[in-house]
Amino acid sequence: MLHFKTSLNYFVFLQSKLSKTLPGKFMKYFPSDYFQYKNNELYCEGVSLKSIAGKFGTPVYVYSKKFFADRYLEFANAFKSINHKIFFAAKSNFNLNVIKIFYDLGSGIDVNSLGELYRALKIGADPQRLLLTGVGKTKDEIKAGIELGVLMIKAESLHEVYLINRIAGDLGKKAQVALRVNPDVDPQTHPYISTGLAENKFGISAADAMEIYIECSKLKNIEISGVDMHIGSQITSITPYLEAVSKMIGLIENLKTAGITINHFDIGGGMGVLYNDEELFTPLQLAEKLIPLFKQIDCDIFFEPGRFLTANGGALVAEVLYLKENMNKNFIVVDAAMNDLLRPSIYNAYHHTQPVIKNNNEDIIADIVGPVCESGDFIAKNRVISKLEQGDLLAVLSAGAYGMVMASNYNARRRAPEIIIDKDKFFLTRSRESYEHLLWDEQIISNLHS
Ligand code: LLP
């Protein structure tokens, strides 16, 4: 028995039913080694999500350590035949223990701000395993990078290079610098996360690159030794990589002819992952296509994967607060909101949802929404899901990347705790914020009210 409020809903229902049965879709990937049902209860590795929700409340982020380790090793193995280094993009999940899992496996860390740098130092990272990136680094960020001696500062404009040169001079040091070059290729992804088109704010234009490198090579306090690119995120085709890498190899060869030696080529991150029905490529398939190109140049190859390493290793568990029907729609109101997981609201991103306790209820089509006072506050739209009851738990999957890191305190909501599961053990790595945390250093100024 099904409830269909409108024929449009019926159409959406048919589409999503169909998509569940096609090969290569999320349901084929789920259950996985990391999130699966045991006796009708959803587990992360060996720990039941119900027990986590019972101990720590909801909403709560849960991560699988094994997922992170497996993906890191999959990536590293794919490129093992060439000299390469992986720098985990901490922006995708900057939980200290998540960063440390990758670091301990041999990864470096790509940090995008003083805040991420601070986190990397907190886990005891060697600055020589850090890349400092970012389109608008402040003087303080550059100064910290140089003083600490990070492996590479990646500059995105000539103005920035001049500033790095000046700060390095003041500190009596030589800074290691790479230029981020914008190859002007279309990564065919969401416009908000496309970064390698000429119209995007990132990097220096490929057309100006030679001239800028030559100018940089004259500066005394920097050593310009790298070419860097990052064309976008959630990329589902190898073609844009091939196009961009070929362009950059041409640049590296021209630089060599001009007497500028490039020691490393950083191709950034961007590998897409399965959220719904994407056709994807594996690290091995990427390696098969790229390694022959890399062999044309004598450089170390750097990678900065984020999402690939983390996305499908995390779930956000929420509790159903209310069920309601407004006009033509069913709504499932849960206690997780856009402040916990922003991706659906700003990219219309799809996140698969599963009841934590499997039920045999009829399927309904519903919007899964949060308590924040915005219509844009939703986890899923027109989702076919077995009917849930008040108090049921819902797992929002693929939430390990760009989930907690993009969380906010909107509506004065406390950010969720983060739990890492390692086989049958669970670890609280960050507690739920308290209301006192939310008031940190904020005071009533009596003079203002006198
Ligand atoms: N390197 C640089 C310079 C980057 O800007 C990024 C991501 C990465 C590496 C890692 O990219 P990944 O492998 O994770 O695709 N908030 C968006 C994603 C923004 C990505 C920003 N840069 C989302 O939720 O989809």
Contacts of 241 (CB under 8 A, 6+ apart): 231, 235, 267, 270, 286, 289, 290
Kindly report the pTM of this predicted structure.
0.94
For residues 125 and 271, membership in a common domain is answered with yes
Residue that terminates a domain, selected from 285, 309, 333: 309
- Ligand 1: does its nearest atom lie under 6 Å from the Cβ of 228? no
Amino acid letter, 196 = G
- Ligand 1: does its nearest atom lie under 6 Å from the Cβ of 180? no
Ligand 1, pocket-test mutation among 307, 316, 396, 402, most atoms within 8 A of CB: 307
Q: How many domains does the chain have?
A: 2
The structure tokens listed for 168 are 């390095």
448 occurs within a structural domain:
no
283 occurs within a structural domain:
yes
For residues 225 and 120, membership in a common domain is answered with yes
Instruction: Give backbone dihedrals phi and psi of 443, rounded to 5 degrees, phi first.
Output: -130, 155
User: Which atom belonging to ligand 1 lies closest to the Cα atom of 307?
Assistant: 14
Residue that terminates a domain, selected from 266, 288, 309: 309
Boundaries of domain holding 258 = 65-309
pLDDT in tens, 112-127: 999 999 999 999 999 9
41 occurs within a structural domain:
yes
**pLDDT at residue number 32:** 82
**pLDDT at residue number 26:** 65
Structural element, H or E, at residue 143? helix 139-148
Task: Assess whether pLDDT exceeds 70 at residue 3.
Answer: no
Provide the annotated active-site residues.
373
For residues 49 and 69, membership in a common domain is answered with no
**pLDDT at residue number 127:** 98
For residues 73 and 22, membership in a common domain is answered with no
For residues 302 and 328, membership in a common domain is answered with no
- Ligand 1: does its nearest atom lie under 6 Å from the Cβ of 196? no
Round to whole Å and give the CA distance between 396 and 147.
42
- Ligand 1: does its nearest atom lie under 6 Å from the Cβ of 344? no
User: How many of the other CB atoms lie within 10 Å of CB of 136?
Assistant: 10
pLDDT in tens, 296-351: 999 999 999 999 999 999 999 999 999 999 888 999 999 999 999 999 999 999 99
The structure tokens listed for 162 are 């001049």
For residues 14 and 71, membership in a common domain is answered with no
The structure tokens listed for 33 are 């080694």
446 occurs within a structural domain:
no
Q: Tell me the average pLDDT across 186-204.
A: 79
**pLDDT at residue number 20:** 40
- Ligand 1: does its nearest atom lie under 6 Å from the Cβ of 305? yes
Task: Assess whether pLDDT exceeds 90 at residue 12.
Answer: no
User: Which atom belonging to ligand 1 lies closest to the Cα atom of 270?
Assistant: 15
The structure tokens listed for 102 are 């990758």
pLDDT in tens, 228-246: 999 999 999 999 999 999 9
When mean pLDDT is compared across 11-20, 238-247, 260-269, the lowest value belongs to 11-20
- How many angstroms does the Cα of residue 304 sit away from the middle of ligand 1? 9
Residue that terminates a domain, selected from 278, 309, 340: 309
CATH number at residue 244: 3.20.20.10
User: Which atom belonging to ligand 1 lies closest to the Cα atom of 308?
Assistant: 13
* Torsion on CA atoms 45, 47, 53, 56, rounded to nearest 10: -100
For residues 273 and 124, membership in a common domain is answered with yes
Find out whether 246 and 212 touch, Cβ atoms under 8 Å: no
